[in-house]
Every structure is written in structure tokens, then in C-alpha cells.
Amino acid sequence: MKVLLMLMLASFMTPALAAGNAEAGQQKAAACNACHGATGKASVTLYPNLAGQNADYLQHALQAYKKGERSGGQAEVMKAFVSGLSDEDMADLAAYYQGLKP
């Protein structure tokens, strides 16, 4: 019961992420396509598929890369790619990828 209460409280404390514009995200995804594929499906297993991924997860991941909170794998490469993205850009990209068929 304590765990459930803590999870409920944490959900209220988590900042809400802005809903993005998928059409704008498609326009902004050009640099992402090189690794994650034009349809959000990577042709190389080193890179994750983004098509159909939850938008909140993607936004949090992009923010974590930008802040340097993720490490290992391609984290340094991703940090360089997302360093110039605004919160709106991240929301748009997340909305775009969420809308693609997995």
C-alpha cells in the first residue's frame, strides 16, 4: 500500500510534458533518419527503432541525453545531436515517432 501511495504522489510531482506536433516533428527528423531510419525503423541493430515508441519516454530520453544524464552506448553521439534541440523540438519529434507504425 505504501508503494502504491508513493507512486501516486510521484506521478503528481513529475512535470507534465508538452504534447508535440507530429507534422513539425517529421520535418525535424531528418538528422535522426541516418541512424533510426526514415520510418523510425533502424536498419542497423546498434540503433533503436523509434517507430511507435511512447512520446513521453522519447521526450524524457532526449532531455536526459541533452543534460548528460545518460551514458554508455551512443550517449555521447546523441548528446551532440540533441544539444541544439528545444523542448518544443523534442516534443515534436516524440509525437512524430509515436505516430509511426512499429
- The per-residue DSSP string of 7-68 comes to HHHHHHHSPPPPP--HHHHHHHTHHHHHHH-TTS--SSTTS---TT--HHHHHHHHHHHHHT
pTM of the model: 0.81
The top-level CATH class assigned to 20-99 is mainly alpha
Going from N- to C-terminal start, the domains of the chain cover: 20-99
The average pLDDT across 19-30 equals 96
Residue 22 CB coordination number (10 Å): 18
The mean pLDDT of 63-70, rounded to a whole number, is 97
Per-residue pLDDT of 1-12, as tens digits, reads 554 444 454 444
Q: Supply the pLDDT for residue 17.
A: 63
